[in-house]
Amino acid sequence: MTGVFDIIGPIMVGPSSSHTAGAVNIGRVARQILNCKPYRVEFTLYGSFAQTYKGHGTDRALVAGILGMTTDDPRIKNSLAIAKNEGIYCHFKGSSEPTYHPNTVRVGLNCINEQFDVVGISIGGGRIIIKEIDKVPVNITGEYHTLICSYTERLGMVSKVSSVLAAKNINIAFMKVSRDEAREKALMVVEVDEPLHDEIIEIISRLNNILHVKYIEKIEL
């Protein structure tokens, strides 16, 4: 059932929940996937995002998310200047190529040690879905605390990760495993009910065959 605060709320910076609030959330999730501060971020906008991004402030909203702001932050309007001051170079381009959804953005993030490419869609009311991380298809909504583990494809990885979580009393809400075509690199997305402490993330990242661990905090809508 629809909640009271889905009707009166959220408190947000306008003008549009899909083109502004959703864009902040995509930026925030993308920033959390990168473990260090980016110096360069490239945004490719598709569909309605490409056509109306200036008028809806989608560009400012995406950058605000990269800076860690939430959808109700009054600084969203000035995010481009704030990013510049912090030494983050942001570049925008539109694309008319067909893609997942009318409101799609590809975010290319660069920092000294890492480089990531994230594709997100804004599906209305500030809700989003991350569709790709580094070309691997995913389906992350950010409605739960989410753990993303990339690893070398080996038997028993799911049970290793889930035992760590169970031992720490963390309940798994949903879990999905996917892998690349060569069956070498795999990705495990685990959505959990409780927030994860750094310690748990540290234990999981030290497991054999684990390449990267990313943790995305739940988006409060």
Partner 1 sequence: MDKLKFHTLQDWEALSRRLGLSLHELVVKLEAFTSGKSEGVVKEKMLQNWLVMQQAIADGFAKEGATMGELADKEALKLKNAVSKGIVRDDRLSKVCARALAVSELNAAMGRIVAAPTAGSCGILPAVLATVGEDINSTDDEIVDALFVAAGIGIVIAERASISGAEGGCQAECGSAAAMAAGAVVYLYNGAPEQVFHGAALALKNTLGLVCDPVAGLVEVPCIKRNAILAVQALAAADLALAGVKSAIPPDEVIDAMGEIGRCMPAIYKETALGGLAATPTGIKLKERIAREKS
d(CA 180, CA 19): 31
> How near is the Cβ of 134 to partner 1 at its closest, in Å?
30
Of the pair 72, 180, the CB lying nearest partner 1 is at 72
Using alpha carbons, select from 131, 123, 128 the residue that is nearest to residue 102: 123
Q: Does 4 bind partner 1 (CB under 8 A)?
A: yes
Cis peptide before 15 (omega within 30 of 0): yes
Q: Does 156 bind partner 1 (CB under 8 A)?
A: no
Site residues (CB under 8 A) for partner 1, limited to 42-81: 48, 51-52, 54-57, 60, 72, 74, 76-77
d(CA 177, CA 156): 12
Query: Given the rule CB under 8 A, which of 3-11, 31-39, 148-156, 185-193 is the region that contacts partner 1?
Result: 3-11
> How near is the Cβ of 84 to partner 1 at its closest, in Å?
18
CB neighbour list of residue 23: distance below 8 Å, 6 or more residues apart: 49, 58, 61, 62, 65, 105, 122
Q: Does 3 bind partner 1 (CB under 8 A)?
A: yes
Of the pair 64, 165, the CB lying nearest partner 1 is at 64
d(CA 158, CA 143): 22
Question: Interface residues with partner 1 (CB under 8 A)?
Answer: 1-17, 20-21, 48, 51-52, 54-57, 60, 72, 74, 76-77, 124-125
